[in-house]
Amino acid sequence: MKQWTALFLVMGALFTILFFTSDTFADETVTPTGEYVNLRDGPGLTYSVVGTLDAKKEATVLSTEGEWYEVKVGQQKGWVASWLVTAKSSEADVDAKADVIVATTDGLNVRSGPSIQSTVIGKMNAGVEAKRTLERDGWSYVTIDGMDGWVSNDYVQVIAANETDEPKQPDEEETTPLPTDDTFFVEVDQLNVRAEASLSSEKVGTVKRDESYLVLDRQDNWVQLALPNESKGWVYAFYGSFASDAPKQADDALVITTVADGTNVRTEPTTDAPIAKRLSAGEQFTVQREIDDWYAISVGGETAYVASWVVAKPSNDHVPSADKKASIPGTLNGISIVIDPGHGGRDRGTTGARGTKEKDLTLRTSHMLADKLRAAGASVHMTRESDVYVPLRTRAAVKDELGADAFISIHYDANTDSSIHGITSYYYHDNQQALTQTLNDSMMEAVSNNNRGAQFGDFLVIRENSADSVLLELGFLTNVAEEQLLTTTAFQEDITRGIYNGLLRYFND
């Protein structure tokens, strides 16, 4: 008898659990907080959309997983995000009208979750509008062209829902607006013109980037423009600037420039963080803030971090090098020098009779020279630290971008006549000749190679450069005997000591 009693109790408990569980889900319904919500075939934004649930419809909750509801509407089943719906049991009075956000930068990433680590599922360009149904931790959940995802609030402008309502009716005695003597400059590729100062107003045309129009009136975030053919219309003021209050760069704003192809920017200010993107040489960015030895910059509409030691920044107190002397006699303290290892990457330069690649030898020489100069107190920047390609114009720009005092381009020579040998020092402008001659004389004191002298040379890296820029050809790789000498450690030490001594002499005497 006791066994039967126990069995009935267990069965009763199981029935109760199943009954109430079934009733609980059957009684719970959800409705979208916006105009609609997508139904997906799984609990996540990466699952396919299988339908939609409109704002006026309720769906029955079948189960839950994480922050997702499995629901049924009619004969269709699917999953909806919990943050986009309201449960029937909720007492909250939810406004079904969503805000509108507008992207303020091109290439803004739309992600599967509210994090920079989440998968990118789409893009938004500057001026594109989207409806926002949720905000969380500095991110907005938006719907754009049937796609749902998250965008960073740092790169959008929010227009409250009540700003998109139908415009108020004008007074009976409407007066023609008077010109404000201001001009509006369009700063996005294409901007919609509307009949009234509202996103819900009729679209009456478009204006394009770099076009300018006389301002007739302003209303909140809207501006009325005088358009061709005596027409007029309203545009959202965020997408342009006014002649009267054109934004100016802050005096202390720091602009940095990448100096090599493949410069890494990372998701966090540490070399252990994932690489967010690789930049090309010559790209410029305004620094948002500095964190230790890292700069926070905006890349593709999102904040990323670049190391301060791989970019160039301007110097505001640079003294022309013709008048610049080392701050401590007998050293290079206070002197900034750019070393340019010739060629690199896909540009191998010349190849010696014995197979020596110029790009490898110039890098070896440059590193040895850099070590000597740093030991003497100089600030040294190399246009490349490894076997990468750097465009010539990028190399030539580094000196002025850094406010450096000298630019030394290291090369090895070649000629179809294999008997030609010796060292040549080149300048292009007159204000480069003094340093060129000083270095040439100093190198000849350090090595016994044939002296081809300091002479004029039409090379882009010195032609497109400023004072005290020099190109040094340290010998001919096409001469078998000289090639063998140039690759020795003894020659490398001697020639870099000669250049070093020449710079010491130039910036001290």
Residue 13 vs residues 4, 10, 19, 62, 63: alpha-carbon distances, Å:
14, 5, 10, 22, 21
Rounded Cα distance between 122 and 395, Å, is 36
Beta strands 190-194 and 183-186 are unpaired
Q: Is 473 a catalytic residue?
A: yes
Q: Which residues of 79-96 are buried (b: 16+ CB within 10 A; e: fewer)?
A: bbbbbbbbeeeeeeeeee
SS (H, E, C) 416-456: CCCCCCCEEEEECCHHHHHHHHHHHHHHHHHCCCCEEEEEE
Q: Is residue 251 scored above 50 in pLDDT?
A: no
Rounded Cα distance between 456 and 116, Å, is 53
Residue 342, SS3 per DSSP: coil
Q: What are phi and psi of 467, to 5 degrees?
A: -60, 155
User: Which residues does 482 contact at the CB level (< 8 Å), separation at least 6?
Assistant: 421, 422, 449, 475, 476
Compute how many other C-beta atoms are within 10 angstroms of the C-beta atom of residue 117: 8
Average pLDDT of the segment spanning 141-166: 68
Number of H helices, E strands in the chain: 7, 35
Determine the residue type at 59: A
Per the residue annotation, which of 129, 358, 401, 473 is the catalytic one?
473
Which of 71-85, 118-132, 135-149, 345-359 has the highest mean predicted lDDT (pLDDT)? 345-359
Rounded Cα distance between 215 and 193, Å, is 13
Q: Is residue 252 scored above 80 in pLDDT?
A: no
Residue among 273, 268, 307 at smallest CA distance from 287: 307
Q: 271: burial class by Cβ within 10 Å (0-12, 13-18, 19+)?
A: exposed
Q: CATH: 2.60.40.10, 1.10.1060.10, 2.30.30.40, 1.10.10.10. Which one for 16-87?
A: 2.30.30.40
Average pLDDT of the segment spanning 190-203: 82
Residue 303 vs residues 221, 239, 306, 339, 402: alpha-carbon distances, Å:
26, 21, 10, 31, 24
Beta strands 29-32 and 59-65 are antiparallel
Residue 142, SS3 per DSSP: strand
pLDDT for the residue numbered 3: 56
Contact 204, 192 (CB under 8 A): no
The full DSSP string for 208-235 is ETT-EEEEEEEETTEEEEEETTTEEEEE
Beta strands 289-291 and 190-194 are unpaired
Q: Where are the chain's structural domains?
A: 16-87, 99-164, 183-245, 255-312, 321-506
User: Which residues does 63 contact at the CB level (< 8 Å), separation at least 6?
Assistant: 25, 69, 70
pLDDT for the residue numbered 382: 92
Average pLDDT of the segment spanning 230-241: 81
Rounded Cα distance between 301 and 152, Å, is 8
CA 184 to mean position of chain CA atoms: 28
Q: Which of 196-205, 314-323, 397-406 has the lowest mean pLDDT?
A: 314-323
Which has the higher per-residue pLDDT, 173 or 281? 281
Note the pLDDT tens digit of each residue in 319-366. 444 466 777 888 888 899 999 999 998 888 899 988 999 999 999 999
CATH homologous superfamily for the domain 99-164: SH3 Domains (2.30.30.40)
* Domain 255-312 part of CATH 3.40.50.2300: no
Fold for the domain defined by 321-506: Aminopeptidase (3.40.630)
Which of 215-229, 337-351, 454-468, 492-506 has the highest mean predicted lDDT (pLDDT)? 492-506
Q: Is residue 273 scored above 90 in pLDDT?
A: no
pLDDT for the residue numbered 177: 45
Residue 190 vs residues 117, 119, 183, 193, 198: alpha-carbon distances, Å:
31, 28, 18, 10, 17
Note the pLDDT tens digit of each residue in 9-26. 545 544 444 433 333 444
pLDDT for the residue numbered 279: 82
Which has the higher per-residue pLDDT, 311 or 470? 470
Rounded Cα distance between 97 and 363, Å, is 62
Confidence band of 169 (pLDDT split at 50, 70, 90):
very low
Q: Is residue 170 scored above 60 in pLDDT?
A: no
Q: Is residue 51 scored above 70 in pLDDT?
A: yes
pLDDT for the residue numbered 259: 65
Q: What are phi and psi of 207, to 5 degrees?
A: -125, 160
Q: CATH: 1.10.1740.10, 3.30.1380.20, 3.40.50.300, 2.30.30.40. Which one for 183-245?
A: 2.30.30.40
| Shared fold status for 183-245 and 255-312 | yes
Contact 224, 193 (CB under 8 A): no
Angle at 411 between CA 408 and CA 412, to 5 degrees: 150
Which has the higher per-residue pLDDT, 129 or 320? 129
Confidence band of 506 (pLDDT split at 50, 70, 90):
very high
